[in-house]
A = this chain, B = another copy of it.
């Protein structure tokens, strides 16, 4: 995946996370507390500026009770 496609994907992934988080009624702060990470990390993932880890994706999927496809598609 070249850099521009990666950027495009990370922005889309972040938008998916924001939509699902809101759908499930979590603020960034509440999700960050549940995952025991900084609010800024949630914010950066949602803005597509960091390429987060697969284990954090698993924690998010479990916490929000969504399917991984919903974040990746």
Q: Please list the residues of chain A having a beta carbon within 8 angstroms of any beta carbon in chain B.
A: 1, 6, 9-10, 13, 35, 51-59, 61, 67-69, 71-73
Give min CB distance, A46 to chain B, whole Å: 13
- How many protomers of this protein does the assembly include? 2
* Distance in angstroms between the alpha carbons of A26 and B58 in the assembled complex: 25
Of B52, B56, B68, which contacts A68 at CB under 8 A?
Answer: B68
Give the top 8 A-B pairs by smallest Cβ distance, nearest first: A68-B72, A68-B68, A51-B53, A1-B59, A6-B55, A68-B69, A69-B69, A51-B55
In the complex, are the beta carbons of A54 and B51 less than 8 A apart? yes
A2 to chain B: closest residue by CB: B36
Chain B residues lying within 8 Å of A68, measured Cβ to Cβ, are 67-69, 71-73
